[in-house]
Amino acid sequence: MSNQATELLVSACIQSLQAYPPFDRMEAESLRFLAQRVKLAHYPSGARILARESGVARTLYILQRGRVDVVRSGGDRKRESSSVTLGPGQSFSIGALMAQRETVGAYVARDDVFCYELAAEDFFALTQKSTVFNLFCTQYIADLLRQSQQQLQLQLAQRAAEQKTMNSPLSMILSREPVAVTADTPVRRVVELMASQHLGSMVVVDAERQPVGIFTLSDILKRIVLPGASLEQAIAEVMSPAPQTLPVAANAHDAALLMAMHRVRHVLAVDEGGRLRGVVSERDLFKLQGAGLRQIRHAIDAATSIAVLQHAREDVRQLALTMLSEGVGAQEITQFISTLNDAVTRRVIELNLDRHDFYGIDWAWLAFGSEGRDEQTFTTDQDNGIVFICTDIMDREQTQLRFLDFAREVNDDLDKCGFPLCKGNIMASNPELCLTLEEWEEKFAQWVRTPEPLALLNATIFFDFRPLHGRFNLAHRMRLSLLRQTQANPLFLRMLAQNALEVAPPLGRIRDFVTGDDPEHPGTIDLKKYGVRLFTDAARLFALANQVEATNTVARLRRASSLMKIAAEETAAIVDGFNFIQMLRLRHQHFEQEHGRSGDNLIRPDELNEVERHILKESFRQARRLQVRLKLDYQI
């Protein structure tokens, strides 16, 4: 019913809203729609306007007057609870409304609060009606993502701080119970012990377990083997007496200083009674310092053997963790891992090229899958291939055999360096993947022309190729021919879209998440299959449909969406969602590997904190947006 009285109140409401964003920019018609549907409510100071116990959010609250405290419950950790205050013109809780769930925090009136209340269905109608409001909500979600990422990084930084550094007391660095012998122990017994327990040194103690001497591996050579001393004599005869000791409360710096001053490689940690508590070696200290990006890069490029490269791989992992804790985003970290993995792979290829001569042949080493997309995480197996040019058809077989020999060795060496062999045999040593340029082009063309299930699966792996070594222009020619093919075959793109839509984001109607039905891992979500894949599949499709040459998912999304006229803010929210899932994967894999398990992608939503669960849900919602877009674009 529209009448004079309503008109007066509605226009007053419009005026009061117009003082604040986003209402100041909102389309007049939408603003009127909003003002006609809100109801004004009052809450006295201290009233809990909206909280988790209120259940699924059904109302948008726009503050007209007064202030509202947002009390974030930090789960079981009290210190995490923080409070933000909202004032007139601010709305809540957009996140909960959009996701149709409970709020994370509680909204408590600080003083007398008047707010306009809009029912959920009118809220959704408004997001449909008003582009300004829609954008506002999208940005709001993106902000939440950013906030959560900061929180996540804070946690990781705390973990890193808990980790051992040069400032750590020796008590933290000592890992094993010290093995010690008494002064009358025969040298033979000491050497046997050192060998069986892989000890670099043996401490000699008196009856009170106070150290009286030390005997190291190098002493065996200098004091036993070379002089031909008897193995039966007491260790006291050959040990270095009066070893350097430090109280266990001293830190690693002190130990390093002592070693430098006395030119020794071992320092003994003792308790207040001077009793032996452990041994700190120079190597222990070296490990604490960690390696920087430059050193790792240098070590990789200068490596002359596979053994050195093996160490570099471990350094890459460590540095990636440090970056993770220092707040570097998932996108940068995955790219960084990929870059260093590229460096390792290139070096492995170069080392093998010493033994294989391809002079006069144009060829390139290709990376596929996540490596091709520059999105490697801590656990990555090999996905690679070779493309070469064969000028004389008669030489083809012979040339391929030479490349296969070479590829087999590279694949094995990469395996030694921490890139496990591909179970699906997606490796350059597979004759199917060691092909001439024309053969690759034909292979791609065939997949595009007859998009049967296997071809579509192949497309999701092989179309994300990137050259790592050799003639990069061969890869570029492959790319151009691929884009030509996909352009000419709209059916292929449609099938690819259908394929991408086969997996839906694991969002539940009743519960927050739908967890996998894998009986071995109940209550988990596979973040690769049900998370990252949703984004990479859509990004690949956008790229192929819009002639974008990039293989990286974020680059594809950014470039394609600008061609597709998708708002930059919308794309930013999608990218944030993707990065958040990648971040969770990285963190999960790191923790898994820290506990000696092979890092998988199975996370338990129950084990995430409230904010993370919330953001994960928003991230999945971004994936759903992408899928909706695909459905619309391809009429599926």
Partner 1 sequence: MVWLSNLFTGPHAQAQRLTKGQLQRISAWRRLPAPDLSRSHYRSRYVLIDIAIAGEDWQNGPLGAIGALALADGLIDFNAALQLSMVHPAVADDAARPPGEPLPVAVIRGEQRVEALLALLAFVGKAPLVAFHASFVARRIERVLAKALGVELDLPWIDLAWVMAGLFRELGDKQARMDAWLEHFGVVSIERHNPVSDAYALAQLLQLALARAAHKGFETPASLVELEKARRHLYPRA
- Whole-number minimum distance, CB 17 to partner 1, in Å? 13
Closer by beta carbon to partner 1, 126 or else 482? 126
SS3 550: coil
The tokens for 357 are 């001569």
Alpha-carbon distance values, 278 to 202, 209, 268, 281 (Å): 11, 11, 6, 10
Give the range of 6-14, 334-342, 496-504, 623-631 binding partner 1 by CB under 8 A.
Answer: 6-14
Assess 478 for contact with partner 1 (CB under 8 A).
no
Strand ranges (E), 263-362 = 266-270, 276-281
Assess 594 for contact with partner 1 (CB under 8 A).
no
- Whole-number minimum distance, CB 152 to partner 1, in Å? 39
- Whole-number minimum distance, CB 5 to partner 1, in Å? 4
Assess 43 for contact with partner 1 (CB under 8 A).
yes
Evaluate whether 60 touches 118 at the Cβ level (below 8 Å).
yes
Assess 114 for contact with partner 1 (CB under 8 A).
yes
HEC profile of 144-158: HHHHHHHHHHHHHHH
Assess 12 for contact with partner 1 (CB under 8 A).
yes
- Name the one residue in this structure whose structure tokens are 């122990």: 185
- Size of the residue set binding partner 1 (CB under 8 A): 25
- Whole-number minimum distance, CB 85 to partner 1, in Å? 17
Q: For the chain, percent helix, then strand, then coil, each to nearest 5?
A: 55, 15, 30
Dist CA 97 CA 21 (whole Å): 19
Dist CA 246 CA 243 (whole Å): 10
Strand 266-270, strand 245-247: pairing: parallel
Evaluate whether 81 touches 72 at the Cβ level (below 8 Å).
yes
Assess 1 for contact with partner 1 (CB under 8 A).
yes
Assess 19 for contact with partner 1 (CB under 8 A).
no
Assess 117 for contact with partner 1 (CB under 8 A).
yes
Assess 6 for contact with partner 1 (CB under 8 A).
yes
The tokens for 529 are 């299959």
- Whole-number minimum distance, CB 35 to partner 1, in Å? 7
Quick count: other Cβ atoms within 10 Å of Cβ 435? 20
SS3 95: helix
Would you give the DSSP letter of residue 507? B
Closer by beta carbon to partner 1, 2 or else 196? 2
- Whole-number minimum distance, CB 130 to partner 1, in Å? 19
Closer by beta carbon to partner 1, 36 or else 498? 36
Q: What residues have CB less than 8 Å from 340, skipping those under 6 apart?
A: 293, 296, 297, 300, 312, 316
Assess 10 for contact with partner 1 (CB under 8 A).
yes
Closer by beta carbon to partner 1, 49 or else 348? 49
Give the range of 110-118, 249-257, 347-355, 600-608 binding partner 1 by CB under 8 A.
Answer: 110-118
Closer by beta carbon to partner 1, 113 or else 309? 113
- Whole-number minimum distance, CB 127 to partner 1, in Å? 21
585: amino acid identity, one letter: R
Give the range of 40-48, 168-176, 263-271, 391-399 binding partner 1 by CB under 8 A.
Answer: 40-48
Give the range of 37-45, 129-137, 286-294, 414-422 binding partner 1 by CB under 8 A.
Answer: 37-45
Assess 119 for contact with partner 1 (CB under 8 A).
no
Q: Which of 25, 32, 47, 322 binds partner 1 (CB under 8 A)?
A: 47
Assess 13 for contact with partner 1 (CB under 8 A).
yes
Give the range of 4-12, 163-171, 419-427, 542-550 binding partner 1 by CB under 8 A.
Answer: 4-12
Assess 44 for contact with partner 1 (CB under 8 A).
yes
Closer by beta carbon to partner 1, 47 or else 566? 47
Dist CA 133 CA 95 (whole Å): 14
Dist CA 312 CA 419 (whole Å): 12
Assess 3 for contact with partner 1 (CB under 8 A).
yes
Would you give the DSSP letter of residue 394? G
Q: Which of 21, 24, 29, 40 binds partner 1 (CB under 8 A)?
A: 40
Burial class (CB in 10 A: 0-12, 13-18, 19+), 335: middle
According to CB under 8 A, which residues from 64 to 93 bind partner 1?
65
The tokens for 592 are 């898994």
SS3 101: coil
Q: How would you list the strands of the sheet with 211-216, edge to edge?
A: 180-182, 201-205, 211-216, 240-241
- Whole-number minimum distance, CB 100 to partner 1, in Å? 22
- Whole-number minimum distance, CB 65 to partner 1, in Å? 7
What's the number of CA atoms in the CB half-sphere (13 Å) around residue 595? 7
Closer by beta carbon to partner 1, 43 or else 444? 43
Element (H, E) at 467: strand 466-470
- Which residues contact partner 1 (rule: CB under 8 A)? 1-6, 8-10, 12-13, 35-36, 38-44, 47, 65, 112, 114, 117
